[in-house]
Amino acid sequence: MFSWHAIPFARILLPFSIGVFISLLIPVFPQLFWGLLLLLVLIYLVFIKLSKSTQYFKYQYFTALIVSLLLVIVGFLRTHYHDSQLRFNYFKNFDSVDVMQICVDDAVTESDKFYKAYVNVERVHSQKWHSSSGQLLVFFNKAYVNSKPKIGNQYLVKGLTQPIPPPSNPATFDYKKYLFYHNIHEQFFVKKNQFIELNQDKKSIYAHAQGLRDQCVNQLSLYIKDKDALGVSSALLLGYKEDLNPETMQSFSKTGTLHVLAVSGLHAGIIFMILNVLTSFLLRFKNGKQIQSLLVLLGIWYYAYVTGLSPSVCRASLMFSLMAVAKLSNRKTSSFNVLFMSAFILILLNPYIIVDVGFQLSYTAVLGILYLQPKLQNLYLPKFKVDEYIWGLLTVSFAAQIFTFPLSIYYFHQFPLYFLLSNLLVIPIILVVLVMLIVLLVVSFYPPLAQLMAVVIQFVLKINGEVLRTIENLPYNSISGIYISKLEMITLYVMVFISLAFITYRSKWQMFLLLLLVVFFQTNALYTKLRISEQKILTIHSVKNHDVVSCIEGSKMYLIADSGFIEDKKSFKFSIEPYCLEKGIKQIIWCNWNNNYEFEHLKVISNGGFQFFDTKMTIVKNKVSKPIYSDFCLLSSIKKQANNFHFINCKYMLYSKLKDNYNNYYLFKNKDLEARFTNEYLIYPLVLE
């Protein structure tokens, strides 16, 4: 029988998390919540003063309500004041800053032209030096730096920071929001003569951990010569993914086994299991239980340290550490309570972690395994060790998938259909490879043995690759292109929980509620389908070095672009494909700007513009020499000179400006020439419905 008393941290975590979400949705009015906090404390003190001690049990529900409301308010306030911009010494809160001292705080990534680094702003100079706080996203131009920045490197930089821009196209990844949840709100492009590298590096545990991980990666590369095998090995053991082949990533993703490459709960669990087995002999000695728990704790956190103290492995290490500590007590401890306690500690330390995809997936997966797997396990009682292992692995995979599939569909828009088969075959292989990789690092001081181990690892990973490709090429291997809203995702979770409750308790009210949710879900799906069939949307997209316009009619999209973009499938996948998923597009008709097209509601004139229903847009790339009458006029790649606009008679004018490698479009009303560029405003991008 379910009991809240067995999991007290669930009663703390739930209202506290509600307060966190309220703060994220309504990040204002902290004074109101301070007032509510004082009011509730006053009410509770009066209640204690007036009631007798014998009446506490009688009014326990009132007490529970007051405490829950207090936790909601505390969760709100903790989240609100977690924003680094509210600190008095935040670097942007100083006036007339001319120089900043920054320190690289995280692993640096690189692109063709830039090194991208997250840095701490240690000091700012405003008439004099001031100690400061806050993080900053910095782009180092490769042409001006001698080497790739490392964690702990310190620089003096001068210049103005810029706010993180919002997404350049609708429905694409919101990097601004992602950085906001990492407490980063500004970016800085380091140019020539704008920085000085300081000779002294700042030492930190995190920097040393990252250095140790890099040493382990280098050690693996000495013996594992196959690039694909090295990429998988580095990701599998150390969470280092820079050498991972994109095609290999896709194979893991489509087969539902991508989680094995993310160093997290699975890996920490394997290390936890190995350490428990290796130290089990200590239980025969006095105080052996305490010594074993201590060694397991040290082993788990040393593994976290070797992997660079990544957030995912630290989360898992905390959870297993709490389990090891709970094992020391003679009382029986609920695994659910340990799970909720670790989640509460993490959210208390960093409230923004609650919206982290990895955090959500890992905790829902573990919750599914703890709750559902034992029930599935009892459906069949294996008679042999082999079928016991297979049945256990299947039930674990199924339980985790049931609890994570709404999130997976919401974030990744696909669902692997052969996840049971792929996990059944891949996880045993990965377990063997993980153990061999640990052995390889241990024996790396003896090259002949390490080389032999590397050959075996490459052979096993080659087999694993063939298994993945075979499953990936099976018919109907996955359902892709699925788009669900946040409301639909929450509805799916409620349906899952009520279904599990009905299987356990067989209540008619649960069945009635489940049927209502099914009707609601289907009604919402029909409404969405109807809305899609009636939509008419014109969108000007922001794509580097390209002019791209989409015209949506129902579930059909006319994509008007130049030949360069039409051939660039990578840019389409990044800039346009998410928008197609959100709008329910089933058919895309490509139109080249250089050709003429005529459809029922769309007419494209070569290099001249188009008309979509009653909306006309003219494209101007050269000097205007004759009158133009249109609703919109897009000025592309021309200078803002008055003589170019004498003949333009449009309701609205747009011009594109190349900024930070993207075309940002500016829209303004066609008034007098002097006001045209003073009343402009930036759009990301233009969307007309």
For 500-519, how does the pLDDT look when each residue is reduced to its tens digit (9 = 90+)? 888 888 888 888 999 999 99
Q: Worst-scoring range by mean pLDDT, 13-22, 239-248, 373-382?
A: 239-248
Q: What is the pLDDT of residue 57?
A: 55
Q: Model confidence at 658, in pLDDT bands (50, 70, 90)?
A: very low
Mean pLDDT of 647-662: 56
Q: Model confidence at 557, in pLDDT bands (50, 70, 90)?
A: very high
Q: What is the pLDDT of residue 19?
A: 94
Contact 643, 623 (CB under 8 A): yes
Number of DSSP helices (H) and strands (E) in the chain, helices first: 21, 24
* Confidence check: pLDDT of 124 > 90: yes
DSSP at 446:
S
User: How far is CA 515 from each of CA 25, 502, 512, 519, rounded to the nearest angstrom?
Assistant: 30, 12, 5, 6
* Confidence check: pLDDT of 660 > 90: no
User: How far is CA 545 from each of CA 132, 274, 488, 563, rounded to the nearest angstrom?
Assistant: 39, 54, 37, 12
- Count Cβ atoms within 10 A of the Cβ of residue 670 and give its class: 0-12 exposed, 13-18 middle, 19 or more buried: middle
Residue-wise over 563-598: b if at least 16 C-beta within 10 A, else e?
A: eebbebeebbeebbbbbbeebbbeeeeebebeeebe
Q: What percent of the chain lies above the pLDDT cut of 70? A: 87
Mean pLDDT of 358-387: 86
Q: Is the pLDDT higher at 264 or at 668?
A: 264
Q: Is the pLDDT higher at 321 or at 403?
A: 403
Q: Is the pLDDT higher at 91 or at 310?
A: 91
Q: What is the pLDDT of residue 674?
A: 33
Mean pLDDT of 230-242: 83
* Confidence check: pLDDT of 46 > 90: no
Q: What is the pLDDT of residue 2?
A: 52
Q: Is the pLDDT higher at 620 or at 297?
A: 297
Q: What percent of the chain lies above the pLDDT cut of 90? A: 25
* Confidence check: pLDDT of 102 > 60: yes
Beta-carbon-side half-sphere exposure of residue 163 (alpha carbons within 13 Å): 6
Q: What is the pLDDT of residue 543?
A: 81
The whole-angstrom separation of Cα 533 and Cα 530 is: 5
Alpha helices in 413-551 (DSSP H): 419-442, 447-472, 486-505, 508-534
Across 45-54, 107-116, 511-520, the highest mean pLDDT is recorded for 511-520
What are the tokens at 105?
């705080």
Q: Worst-scoring range by mean pLDDT, 42-46, 304-308, 327-331?
A: 327-331
Across 28-37, 201-210, 416-425, 526-535, the highest mean pLDDT is recorded for 526-535
* Confidence check: pLDDT of 185 > 90: yes
Q: What is the pTM of this model?
A: 0.85
Cβ neighbors of 485 (< 8 A, separation 6 or more) are none
Q: Is the pLDDT higher at 387 or at 638?
A: 387
Residue type, 646: H
Q: What is the pLDDT of residue 353?
A: 92
Q: Is the pLDDT higher at 266 or at 689?
A: 266
Q: Is the pLDDT higher at 221 or at 239?
A: 221
Mean pLDDT of 233-250: 81
The whole-angstrom separation of Cα 296 and Cα 313 is: 15
Average pLDDT, the chain: 82
The whole-angstrom separation of Cα 597 and Cα 686 is: 23
Helical packing angle, 486-505 and 508-534, nearest 10° = 160
Q: Model confidence at 99, in pLDDT bands (50, 70, 90)?
A: very high
The candidate with the shortest Cα–Cα distance to 152, out of 209, 112, 90, is: 209
Q: What is the pLDDT of residue 682?
A: 37
Q: What is the pLDDT of residue 180?
A: 93
* Confidence check: pLDDT of 581 > 70: yes
Mean pLDDT of 334-358: 89
The whole-angstrom separation of Cα 108 and Cα 151 is: 8
Cβ neighbors of 423 (< 8 A, separation 6 or more) are 256, 257, 393, 397
User: How far is CA 369 from each of CA 8, 342, 366, 400, rounded to the nearest angstrom?
Assistant: 20, 16, 5, 6
Q: What is the pLDDT of residue 640?
A: 46
Q: What is the pLDDT of residue 644?
A: 53
